[in-house]
């Protein structure tokens, strides 16, 4: 059983809508291991990684200037545990703030680099709901050639197909 499967099992065992202590501790241990790997690769340092308080529902994560990172483990409205891939995405976002304490272009680029590295390393394994960066790239290139301003290119997405996407396992 992989770490991801073990966490899924723990999350199913708890009462619906509840993140029990054991699950919370396991999630934080796994996030800590992944955070340390990411920090080692990108030469980042944080002070502490903590679960966000249950009553905070306005954000998924926060990075404070002292290096404290807090991540919400439960969905804001349902209270159900979030998928591990969502937690890792939030973790990568907050770790990027250790270098760029804003949401500007340099932050966005760095966050994308961290997320892509985490994906290649098997740390970040999202589901397949939308177009991949490779599928979006031709649209962005075409818009750049057409003289579309960068701020408009960042929001460009290829049209979604009405049919479900099939994963190509043998590429």
More confident residue, 165 or 127: 127
What is the 3-class SS of 91-147, one letter each residue? HHHHHHCCCCCCCCHHHHHHHHHHHHHHHHCCCCCCCCCCCCHHHHHHHHHHHHHCC
Q: What is the mean pLDDT of residues 75-101?
A: 93
Q: What is the pLDDT of residue 77?
A: 86
pLDDT tens per residue across span 29-71: 999 999 999 999 999 999 999 999 988 888 999 999 999 999 9
Give the other-Cβ count within 10 Å of 84's Cβ.
21
Closest alpha carbon to 34 in 94, 79, 97: 94
**8 Å CB contact between 31 and 123:** no
Torsion of CA 11, 12, 17, 23, to 10 degrees: -20
Q: What is the mean pLDDT of residues 13-38?
A: 79
Q: What is the pLDDT of residue 135?
A: 53
CA atoms within 13 A on the CB side of 79: 9
Q: What is the pLDDT of residue 23?
A: 84
- The rounded mean pLDDT for the chain is 77
- Class of domain 3-120 as given by CATH: alpha beta
* Encoded tokens for 47: 């002070």
Delimiting residues of CATH 3.30.2010.10 domain(s) in the chain = 3-120
**Global confidence as pTM:** 0.66
pLDDT tens per residue across span 98-153: 999 999 999 999 999 999 999 999 999 998 655 555 555 565 555 566 666 655 54
Cα distance from N-terminal residue to C-terminal residue, the chain: 26
Residue 18, sorted as left (phi over 0), alpha (psi -120 to 50) or beta, turns out to be beta
């Amino acid at each position: 059983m992989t770490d991801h499967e073990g966490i899924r099992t723990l999350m199913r065992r708890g009462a619906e809508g509840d993140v029990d202590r054991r699950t919370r501790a396991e999630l934080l241990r796994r996030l800590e291991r992944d955070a340390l790997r990411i920090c080692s690769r990108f030469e980042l340092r944080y002070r502490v990684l903590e679960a966000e308080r249950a009553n905070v529902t306005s954000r998924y994560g926060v990075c404070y200037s002292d290096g404290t990172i807090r991540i919400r483990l439960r969905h804001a409205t349902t209270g159900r545990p979030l998928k591990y891939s969502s937690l890792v995405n939030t973790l990568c976002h907050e770790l990027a703030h250790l270098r760029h304490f804003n949401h500007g272009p340099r932050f966005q680029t760095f966050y994308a680099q961290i997320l892509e590295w985490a994906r290649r390393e098997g740390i970040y394994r999202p589901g397949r709901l939308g177009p991949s960066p490779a599928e979006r790239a031709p649209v962005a290139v075409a818009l750049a050639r057409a003289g579309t301003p960068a701020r408009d290119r960042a929001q460009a997405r290829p049209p979604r197909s009405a049919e479900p996407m099939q994963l190509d396992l043998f590429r």
